[in-house]
Amino acid sequence: MPTSPHIVLADNSVRAVMFKVLAALVPGVVVHAWMFGPAIWVSLLLTTLFCLVIEALVLAMRDLPLKPFLSDGSVLVTAWLLALSLPTLLPWWLYALGSLFAVLVAKHLYGGLGQNVFNPAMVGYAVLIVSFPAHMNLWPAPVGVAGHTPNLMEALDLVFAGQGAVSPDAYTAATPMDQLRAQVRTGLSAEAVAAASFGLHAKEALVLSYALGGLLLLAHRVITWHVPVAFLGALVATATLLHLIDPGRHADPLFHLLTGSTVLGAFFILTDPVSASTTPLGKLIYAGLAGVITVLIRSFGAYPDGVAFAVLLMNAAVPFIDAYTQPRVFGHSRGRRT
Amino acid sequence: MIAPATRELIVNGLWRQNPGLAQLLGLCPLLAISNSVVNSLSLGLATTLVMMVASASVAVVRNLIPHEIRIPTFVLIIAAAVTVVDLSMNAYVHPLYLVLGVFIPLITTNCIVLARVEAFASKRSTAASVLDAAMMGLGLTLVLVVLGAVREIFGKGTLFSGLDLALGPAARDWVVTVVPDYQGFLLAVLPPGAFLGLGLIIALKNWIEAIRQARRGTPAPVIQPAA
């Protein structure tokens, strides 16, 4: 029986936190399946399976107990975030490779859970986008926009047997961001493209479901407000500035909010308790700069989305940020850091 | 029978103090150019040649160089050696010269060359200096070739492609296609692949050392990178 009234008994174990994150991802997954067809179940199942198997093998190699590490849910969070960041209907070995780099290279080579400098799911994503741009640019279009949305059996066939009866042209389309990039290059105004972008309504529903999950995490105090507010705020501010300078070349802030993995990143990826900054001021700097970098990569870079690279860059800066943003301990002077 | 001092130099250069694996010096070309065996081998041999010429020259005149201005003097000598190698490669292996490009003149700034000159050749006899430079250079070349082979296999699915650029037309048929119909893995060819590959090779060396130490019954020393 706790005698101190100010001590709140919250279950802060890794297991509890990770399963809350998974629960908060469920709305997003369901909406994804509803808007983009059942292919997400295949990719989600594959990354989960690969991540669990690789984790088990590495744990065995490191002579660590399997059960506590496999059942704490952290591997599942990595696997789900990886699946939600990648296009569905990739060949199965790309999901295996992404899982391998996420779990083995990004997590265990750095020392395992709690030691990884970089967000494992984003390392897996970055390796794939850098190495296989042709595959990674085939995003299945939303239901209704695509000529044909593969059902579950066709999805399995595409993932395991490659291009079979259904040609990729039937179910994929350029994402709004790719389209904007292509159109700006050929001289059309970004406004016209953004207005005409098909399938944004599907993205809107998906973004809202991610935001709903994020609010659940906030309500359960799994994450604090700092990271999402700073990231989205800085992203909107940078996008607005660029849009005001040259509306013909840069998309409006709403476009940046709705496309790519902006909202997923704000609530689920940047908030990773291991690789994010841990001090309140540090979180604001870390997430704010990530927002700025995201817009800069999207506007001036060669890759379709900038969230993953922004997260990885800021992950690398976290030890530095944390060292300079230590809050004052009560009773200690505001002296210089020694 | 090799004299113990000579043996020490050989072991240090090729394994114990290997520039690529233990001293971690000269990493810029190591990481930038090691995406195929031919690039690695030619840049490694060019660096070895420069190191031998520079170390020999410095060792000969080591007692004439004033201590205060030794570094500029060393750099001038190294730059002269690099110019000779650069012009010779342009003349004799021109296609390869075009591939390696700016990395040949950049051997001047490779810190392993200056490090061996400063740490060894400016203090020891000419013969020992040349041997040290040759062994250090070969050690670096060895790491470069292993890294180049790993990156070439994973990145392009071949081995020894383009070796005729360095060794003449006879080597044109030496290409080994390790994985037929390979789609390519760009990460291995890009700079991150170099960092990952080198990290794994260093881990392998440390692992071998640890096993050897354990067999001898002494704890493995923690291998620190040179400051």
B6 within a domain of the structure (yes/no)? no
Task: Give the other-Cβ count within 10 Å of A133's Cβ.
Answer: 13
Q: Three-class SS string for chain A?
A: CCCCCCCCCCCCCHHHHHHHHHHHHHHHHHHHHHHHCCHHHHHHHHHHHHHHHHHHHHHHHCCCCHHHHHCCCHHHHHHHHHHHHCCCCCCHHHHHHHHHHHHHHHHHCCCCCCCCCCCHHHHHHHHHHHHCHHHHCCEECCCCCCCCCCCHHHHHHHHHHCCCCCCHHHHEECCHHHHHHHHHHHCCCHHHHHHHCCCHHHHHHHHHHHHHHHHHHHHCCCCCCHHHHHHHHHHHHHHHHHHHHCCCCCCCHHHHHHCCCHHHHHHHHCCCCCCCCCCHHHHHHHHHHHHHHHHHHHHHCCCCCCHHHHHHHHHHHHHHHHHHCCCCCCCCCCCCCC
Residues of A in contact with B188 (CB under 8 A): 131
Cα distances (Å, whole numbers) of residue A221 to A225, A323, A328, B9: 9, 24, 23, 61
Query: Residue A268 and residue A209: Cα distance in Å, rounded?
Result: 12
What's the confidence (pLDDT) of residue B227? 46
Residue in chain A lying closest to B184 (CA):
A131
Q: CB distance A130–B187 less than 8 Å? A: yes
Which has the minimum average pLDDT: A179-183, A247-251, B118-122?
A179-183
Most confident of A8-12, A97-101, A138-142, A147-151: A97-101
pLDDT in tens, A207-228: 899 999 999 999 988 899 999 9
Contact A231, A270 (CB under 8 A): yes
Q: Which of the residue ranges A9-13, B43-47, B120-124, B145-149 would you say has the lowest mean pLDDT?
A: A9-13
CA B218 to chain centre: 31
Residue-averaged pLDDT of chain A = 84
**B161 is a domain residue:** yes
Picking from B183, B186, B196, the nearest residue to A130 by CB comes out as B186
* Close Cβ partners of B130 (under 8 Å, ≥ 6 residues apart): B52, B55, B56, B59
Residue A132 touches partner B, C-beta closer than 8 Å: yes
Please check the confidence at residue A335 and state whether its pLDDT lies above 70. no
> What are φ and ψ of residue A65, in 5° steps?
-65, 140
Average pLDDT over residues A151-168: 70
Mutate to test the interface with A, among B181, B186, B195, B198 (most CBs of A within 10 A): B186
Alpha carbon distance A171, B219 (integer Å): 60
DSSP helix/strand/coil, B181: coil
Task: Determine the residue of chain B that is closest to A97 in CA distance.
Answer: B185
Residues ≥6 apart with Cβ < 8 Å to B110: B26, B28, B29, B47
Residue B222 counted as domain residue: no
pLDDT, tens digit, for every residue of A59-70?
999 888 888 888
Structurally, chain B folds into a number of domains equal to 1
- As a whole number, the mean pLDDT across chain B is 85
Decide: B50 and B107 in contact? Cβ < 8 Å: yes
pLDDT for res B174: 73
The pLDDT tens digits for B72-85 are 999 999 999 999 99
Write the pLDDT tens digit of every residue in A255-271: 888 887 899 999 999 99
Q: Is residue B12 part of a domain?
A: no
Query: How far, in Å, CA of A227 to CA of A235, rounded?
Result: 12
Cβ distance of A127 and B186 shorter than 8 Å: no
User: How does DSSP classify residue B225?
Assistant: P
| pLDDT score of A46 | 94
Q: How far is CA B43 from the centre of its chain?
A: 8
Radius of gyration of chain B (CA): 19
Q: Span A227-236, mean pLDDT?
A: 95
| Domain membership flag for residue B171 | yes
Dig out the tokens for A117 from the structure.
Answer: 């400098």
**B193, part of any domain:** yes
Range of lowest pLDDT (B28-32, B73-77, B99-103, B173-177):
B173-177
The C-alpha of B77 sits at a distance from chain A's nearest C-alpha, in angstroms, of: 39
pLDDT for position A241: 93
pLDDT bin (cut points 50, 70, 90) of residue A254 is confident
Could you list the residue range(s) of the whole structural domain that residue B96 is in? 20-216
* d(C-alpha A320, C-alpha B116), whole Å: 34
| pLDDT over 80 (residue B10) | yes
Distance CA B24, CA B37 (A): 20
Q: pLDDT tier at A5 (50, 70, 90 boundaries)?
A: low
Q: Which residues of A85-122 are buried (b: 16+ CB within 10 A; e: fewer)?
A: bbbbbbbbebbbbbbbbbbbbbbbbbebbeebebbbbb
Maximum C-alpha span of chain A: 71
Contact A127 B190 (CB under 8 A): no
- Percentage of chain A exceeding pLDDT 90: 44
Q: What is the pLDDT, as a whole number, of residue A187?
A: 53
Position B131 pLDDT exceeds 80: yes
CA A312 to CA A170: how far, in whole Å?
Answer: 34
CB-based contact A285:A277 (threshold 8 Å): yes
pLDDT above 90 coverage of chain B, percent: 30
Assign A182 a pLDDT band (cuts: 50, 70, 90). Answer: low
In a domain, B112, yes or no: yes
- Residue A199: left (phi > 0), alpha (psi -120 to 50), or beta? left
For position A261, what pLDDT does the model report?
A: 86
pLDDT of A158 over the 70 cut: yes
d(CA B132, CA B175): 33
Candidates A94, A101, A129, A131: best to mutate against B (most CBs of B within 10 A) is A131
- pLDDT number for residue A200: 61
- A131: chain B residues, CB-CB within 8 Å: 185-188
Band (A330; pLDDT cuts 50, 70, 90)? confident
Which of B:166-185 have CB within 8 Å of A?
A: 183, 185
Q: How far is A100 from chain B (nearest CA, A)?
A: 14
C-alpha pair distances (Å), B112 with each of B3, B19, B197? 25, 7, 20
Does residue A18 surpass a pLDDT of 60?
yes
On whether residue B7 sits in a domain, the answer given is no
Name B82's Cβ contacts closer than 8 Å, sequence gap at least 6: B50, B104, B105, B107, B108
Q: Is the pLDDT of residue A329 over 60?
A: yes
Q: Is the pLDDT of residue A170 over 70?
A: no
Q: How many CB pairs under 8 A join A and B?
A: 13
- The CA–CA distances, whole Å, from B39 to A57, B36, B90, B169 equal 36, 6, 15, 16
Q: How far apart are CA A305 and CA A307, in angstroms?
A: 6
CA distance B31 to chain A (A): 18
Task: Look up tokens 């170099």; give the residue.
Answer: B194
Which residues of chain B does A130 touch, with a Cβ-Cβ cutoff of 8 Å?
A: 186-187, 190, 192
Instruction: pLDDT band for A294, please (50, 70, 90 cuts).
Output: very high
Residue-wise pLDDT for A69-107, tens only, equals: 888 889 999 999 999 999 888 889 999 999 999 999 999
Q: Which residues pair with B159 in a beta bridge?
A: B176
Please determine, for residue B132, whether its predicted confidence score (pLDDT) is greater than 60.
yes
pLDDT more than 70, % of chain A:
82
Q: Tell me what the mean pLDDT of segment A183-199 comes to.
A: 54
d(CA B149, CA B151): 6
How far is Cα B227 from Cα B225, in angstroms, rounded to an integer?
Answer: 6
**For residue B98, is pLDDT > 60?**
yes
A206 touches chain B (CB under 8 A): no
Task: Give me the pLDDT at residue B223, please.
Answer: 57
CB pair distance less than 8 Å for A130 and B196: no
More confident residue, A257 or A57: A57
Strand partners, B177: B158
pLDDT at A280 over 80: yes
Q: Read out DSSP for B105-174?
A: GGGGG-HHHHHHIIIIITTS-HHHHHHHHHHHHHHHHHHHHHHHHHHHHHHHSEESTTTHHHH-GGGGGG
AA identity, residue A247: P
Query: Hey, are the CB atoms on A130 and B185 less than 8 Å from each other?
Result: no
User: Tens digits of per-residue pLDDT, B172-217?
Assistant: 777 777 777 777 788 888 888 889 899 999 999 999 988 988 888 7
